[in-house]
Amino acid sequence: MNRIWIVMLCAMAGNIQPAYAYTIYVSNEKDNTISVIDGDSLEVTDTIEVGERPRGIVLSNDGKYLYICASDDDHIEVLDLQSKQVIYNLPSGPDPELMSLSADGSLLFVANEDDNMVTVIDTVQRSKLVEIPVGIEPEGIGLSPDGKWLVSTSETTNMAHFIDTASLKIIDNVLVDARPRVAQYTPDGKEVWVSSEIGGTVSIIDAASREIKHKIEFAVAGLRPESIQPVGIKIAADGSNKAYIALGPSARVAVVDTTSYAVEKYLLVGPRVWNLEFSPDQKRLFTTNGVGGDVSVIDLQKQKVLKSIKVGRLPWGIAVNP
Amino acid sequence: MKPLSLIQSICAIVALLVSAASIAQTKLEVDIVYLGRQTQTLKPLSLLDTEVENNGISGSMLGLNDTQTTGSFLNHIYRMEQVIVEPTADLVSTYRNLVAAGKKLFIADLDAADIESIAALDQDVLIFSIRAKDDILRNQKCHPDVFHLPPSRSMLADAVVQYLVWKRWNKVVLVTGRHAGDRAYATALKRAAGRFGLKIVQEKNWTAVPGARRTDSGHHSLQQEIPVFTQFKDHDVLLVADEQDEFGEYLSYRTTRARPVAGTQGLQPTSWHRTQEQWGATQIQRRFAKLANRWMTELDYSAWAAVRSFGEAVTNTGSNEPEVLREYLLSKRFKLAGFKGAPLTFRNWNGQLRQPILVVGPRMLVTVSPQAGFLHQHSELDTLGFDKPESSCQGF
């Protein structure tokens, strides 16, 4: 009898928090803060002060810590999400911008925009493992799903470098259009999508042959082509065959079919849309709108923008904690 | 894995080079000549500004470094030779010798007359002009071999005037200096005022020949002279055309009425400025400072953009032939990432680099033109300067 009561109590306690409660973290580049957004109410619940010019953010695998590229402080900050305190810094080399965490959480791969390096950080030893020289202005960092490959982009060299994560050596370089920003593997690991901000395209690179098999171009009626500047890329892993591409100053997110590469729709979000992240169930997509100063919430089933949430100034990076 | 070791770093560098070689296409050598004429550098009026050394050349060096990284992955080798002639030397014969020696790609740090004189030889070359801002070189005297990297005076004037119109500072007065360049700048400002609906209520020329730039107790006389000179009808802004920095800097805070100064001093339209760090420009500013130990000037920016444009064209065509490069540069495929928010392209009717213009105060970027609301059927960047229907350039 007592046991049943306990079970019931636990069930009730469980009901107080919805089953799919999740949290969205947004770095505000200008305010030096992280906005915390509740996934249910879609309200900002907290704003945490961090180091100078926070840009790329990544969650630890256990969801307890947030790694933050504090670009102007030249290190990665580790934010304890429970205490909301930065508990220590990782040595990243100058001007860290974007990063990826290895599947086992032991390595952080960081692009040092000012230093022409990709820095590999041992997150356990909290030390710099190696620096890999790449092209000028490294930016995007994309890990293959099997963790064997790292693709890094160089904005001024206009290349995607394919790095073997075992040897930490560059194996190949692929020339893409001007100012490549984000590199993202498809969930099956067969393709790498690279956005070119100034070129205005997304190159689809065949991961095995490392040849460009397609280039996606964009056009929005009534908008000058210069304003269409692809940056963030997210490719759905829910079988919907859709990818989402943030188009910068045009304030649009393009919805792309991943089999035909056709652009199906442009969703209006906010100006200078930078980066994107899915909700854990992949039913929603969140966008950071830099100049807009807000986060747009997109309902992916209806393909509609639900709401925009005011955050700090110049929101940039985004991470979702399930 | 072990902590960072020097050997690992070295291995990584070697790996980069080895892999670069492994994807090597056919080796291609690209020779660029930086052709200039010695000029007397002006002492700036403000003590905060220093005389600039290697103006332009340092920009081209940075462009070369940036371009060579891509080149090293593709087995394209870039070389740049600097040929700077004496103030009175015969430039044409120097140029002729260079062309005879097989040089085809030129960065011309020259004034309009020199550009005209070398272009007139009609060689199989590309000349990237980085200094001359003259509208006439882009209009009546345009030439198919010559591309223009700096904005023309009319582009600069349109950029600042669009902002004044956006601010509804509609009434202006204009003070013009004693040089031909000042008059050309004033003409561009008047054209911009006419196009965008700004009213020039009064004009005056500043004819005084400057004395010593740095005198003891100089401010006493200026405090008396400038209010007398600036007794204009009511206006919102004082426009100044003083390209050689002879007097424009004296105007701010000394005018009869409390009015801001804009043009060659005060609020200035420019292709590049140290206060510009948007759109990733932080990196190029830092790279430049590391290389040259000074700030990057407009001329450096044009020189950088010139080398980068050559590089982009070579990278994407695999050729070093002027004709092939020219076609690529004028095509829709060419988009240069120039750290100003929009891709930089060339106008196919006169070879002018299409670009946003920064409008800056002495210590801060104020805005970037074109301004919102100035519309165009093709590119809003073409609201700056002579648009295709207005251009008198024939046969570019």
Q: What is the pLDDT of residue A301?
A: 95
Nearest CA in chain B to A133: B13
Task: Please list the pLDDT of chain B residue by residue as tens digits (396 residues).
Answer: 344 344 444 434 434 444 444 444 689 999 999 999 998 777 777 888 888 889 999 999 999 999 998 898 899 999 999 999 999 999 999 999 999 999 999 999 999 999 999 999 999 999 999 999 999 999 999 999 999 999 999 999 999 999 999 999 999 999 999 999 999 999 999 999 999 999 999 999 999 887 766 555 567 788 889 999 999 999 999 999 999 999 999 999 999 999 999 999 999 999 999 999 988 899 999 999 999 999 999 999 999 999 999 999 999 999 999 999 999 999 999 999 999 999 999 999 999 999 999 999 999 999 999 999 998 888 999 999 999 999 999 989
Q: Does A167 touch chain B (CB under 8 A)?
A: yes
HEC string of A76-121 equals EEEEECCCCEEEEEEECCCCEEEEEECCCCCEEEEEECCCCEEEEE
How is residue B110 written in tokens? 């020259």
How is residue B265 written in tokens? 């001093």
Chain A residues near residue B28 by CB distance under 8 angstroms: none
**In order of start, what are the domains of chain B with their CATH numbers?**
8-151+273-355 (3.40.50.2300), 154-270 (3.40.50.2300)
Phi, psi of B358 (to 5 degrees): -80, 140
Percent helix, strand, coil in chain B, to 5, is 40, 20, 45
Nearest CA in chain B to A91: B4
B88–chain A nearest CA distance, Å: 39
Q: What is the pLDDT of residue B8?
A: 43
Chain-chain contact of A198 with B335 (C-beta, under 8 angstroms): yes
Tell me if A208 sits within 8 A of A188, measured CB to CB: no
Chain-chain contact of A136 with B69 (C-beta, under 8 angstroms): yes
Chain-chain contact of B19 with A197 (C-beta, under 8 angstroms): no
Chain B residues near residue A225 by CB distance under 8 angstroms: 379
- For residues B161 and B181, what is the distance between their CA atoms, to the nearest angstrom? 18
Chain B residues near residue A168 by CB distance under 8 angstroms: 8, 12
Q: What is the pLDDT of residue A94?
A: 84
Q: What is the pLDDT of residue B1?
A: 39
Q: Does B211 touch chain A (CB under 8 A)?
A: no
Chain-chain contact of A132 with B69 (C-beta, under 8 angstroms): no
- Please list, in sequence order, all residues whose beta carbon lies within 8 angstroms of the beta carbon of residue B100, skipping any fewer than 6 positions away: none
Q: What is the pLDDT of residue B25?
A: 64
* 3-class DSSP state of B331: coil
- For residues B135 and B142, what is the distance between their CA atoms, to the nearest angstrom? 9
Chain B residues near residue A122 by CB distance under 8 angstroms: 1, 3
How is residue B357 written in tokens? 């213009």
Which 116-145 residues of chain A touch chain B by CB within 8 A?
Answer: 122, 125, 127-137
Chain-chain contact of B73 with A173 (C-beta, under 8 angstroms): yes
Chain centroid to CA A19: 25
* Residue spans of beta strands (DSSP E) within B163-266: 171-176, 199-205, 237-241, 261-263
- For residues A188 and A185, what is the distance between their CA atoms, to the nearest angstrom? 8
Q: Does A155 touch chain B (CB under 8 A)?
A: yes
Q: Does A165 touch chain B (CB under 8 A)?
A: no
Q: Does B336 touch chain A (CB under 8 A)?
A: yes
Tell me if A139 sits within 8 A of A111, measured CB to CB: yes
Chain-chain contact of A224 with B280 (C-beta, under 8 angstroms): no
Chain-chain contact of B66 with A136 (C-beta, under 8 angstroms): yes
Q: Does A217 touch chain B (CB under 8 A)?
A: no
B345–chain A nearest CA distance, Å: 10
Chain B residues near residue A130 by CB distance under 8 angstroms: 1, 4, 8-9, 12
Chain-chain contact of A177 with B335 (C-beta, under 8 angstroms): yes
Which 239-268 residues of chain B touch chain A by CB within 8 A?
Answer: none
Global pTM? Answer: 0.85
B369–chain A nearest CA distance, Å: 14
| Complex ipTM | 0.76
Nearest CA in chain B to A227: B342
Tell me if A268 sits within 8 A of A252, measured CB to CB: yes
Chain-chain contact of A137 with B9 (C-beta, under 8 angstroms): no
Task: Please list the pLDDT of chain A residue by residue as tens digits (322 residues).
Answer: 455 555 454 444 444 444 468 999 999 999 999 999 999 999 999 999 999 999 999 999 999 999 999 988 889 999 999 999 999 999 988 888 899 999 999 999 999 887 889 999 999 999 999 999 999 999 999 999 999 999 999 999 999 999 999 999 999 999 999 999 999 999 999 999 999 999 999 999 999 999 999 999 999 988 888 889 999 999 999 999 999 999 999 999 999 999 999 999 999 999 999 999 999 999 999 999 999 999 999 999 999 999 999 999 999 999 999 9
Q: Does B342 touch chain A (CB under 8 A)?
A: yes
Q: What is the pLDDT of residue B215?
A: 58
| DSSP state letter for B362 | S
Chain B residues near residue A203 by CB distance under 8 angstroms: none
Chain-chain contact of A155 with B13 (C-beta, under 8 angstroms): no
- For residues A135 and B258, what is the distance between their CA atoms, to the nearest angstrom? 51
- Nearest C-alpha neighbor of A178 from the set B355, B279, B339, B336: B336
Chain-chain contact of A226 with B342 (C-beta, under 8 angstroms): yes
Cβ-Cβ pairs closer than 8 A, A with B, add up to 110
Q: Does A160 touch chain B (CB under 8 A)?
A: no
Q: What is the pLDDT of residue B213?
A: 63
Q: Which of B8, B315, B380 is opposite residue A175, by nearest beta carbon?
A: B315
Chain B residues near residue A198 by CB distance under 8 angstroms: 335-337, 343
- For residues B206 and B241, what is the distance between their CA atoms, to the nearest angstrom? 9
Strands A315-321 and B28-37: unpaired
How is residue A57 written in tokens? 């953010």
A43–chain B nearest CA distance, Å: 30
Q: What is the pLDDT of residue A95?
A: 86
Q: Does A191 touch chain B (CB under 8 A)?
A: no
Strands A273-278 and A284-289: antiparallel
C-alpha distances out from residue B325 to A158, A178, B35, B207, B322, Å: 18, 17, 19, 46, 5
Q: What is the pLDDT of residue B210?
A: 78
Interface test with A, best of B14, B64, B69 (most A CBs within 10 A): B69
Q: What is the pLDDT of residue B221?
A: 81
Chain-chain contact of B23 with A113 (C-beta, under 8 angstroms): no
Chain-chain contact of B283 with A113 (C-beta, under 8 angstroms): yes
**Radius of gyration of chain B, Cα coordinates, nearest whole angstrom:** 23
Which 298-317 residues of chain B touch chain A by CB within 8 A?
Answer: 312, 315
